[in-house]
């Protein structure tokens, strides 16, 4: 056994030395050790990002009248918590002419989603309009049932 261990160590040392000579020191596999996930990594709760995108698509189609399946109010009822729905109605009364979901008077042409935080339930949606303007809106999804619990202007950074 001792000879075999020594032989294995010699092989590993030889491979490492050869790699160093060839400039490949970082290219050889190292003993399998767990790679820690940085504390700042963002992970998405399963289905949460898709749920926000599905909601936005259904809501946009309802607002544009391109679907007969649901009205904007019915889409909101399906994807948003009752408390959030009420809060959006209140928000709309103080922002005449602006849609409470899109936070604008018109419907965006497209959007992108970016997970934020580390719990996988927070996203920033960047809405984009045909004229090149964009706006960010923060979303929170409850992981258990994927209901959207918050839609708000994202906190200021800087």
Question: Exposed e or buried b for every residue in 1-36, given b needs 16+ CB within 10 A?
Answer: eeeeeeeeeeeeeeeeeeeeeeeeeeeeeeeeeeee
Over residues 76-87, the pLDDT tens digits come to 999 999 999 999
pLDDT tens figures, 61-102: 999 999 877 999 999 999 999 999 999 999 999 998 899 999
Percent of the chain at pLDDT > 90 equals 60
Residue 42 banded pLDDT, cuts 50, 70, 90: very low
158 or 38: which carries more pLDDT confidence? 158
Residues 94-123 have a mean pLDDT of 93
């Amino acid at each position: 056994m001792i000879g075999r261990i020594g032989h294995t160590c010699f092989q590993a040392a030889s491979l490492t030395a050869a790699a160093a000579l060839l400039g490949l020191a970082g290219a050889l596999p190292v003993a399998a050790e767990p790679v820690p996930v940085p504390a700042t990594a963002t992970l998405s709760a399963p289905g949460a990002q898709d749920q926000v995108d599905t909601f936005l698509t259904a809501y946009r189609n309802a607002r544009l009248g391109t679907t007969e399946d649901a009205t904007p109010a019915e889409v909101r009822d399906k994807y948003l918590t009752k408390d959030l729905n009420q809060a959006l109605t209140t928000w709309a009364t103080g922002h005449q002419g602006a849609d409470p979901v899109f936070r604008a008077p018109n419907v965006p042409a497209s959007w992108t989603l970016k997970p934020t935080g580390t719990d996988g339930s927070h996203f920033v949606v960047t809405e984009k309009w045909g004229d090149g303007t964009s706006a960010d809106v923060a979303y929170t999804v409850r992981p258990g049932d994927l209901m959207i619990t918050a839609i708000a202007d994202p906190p200021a950074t800087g």
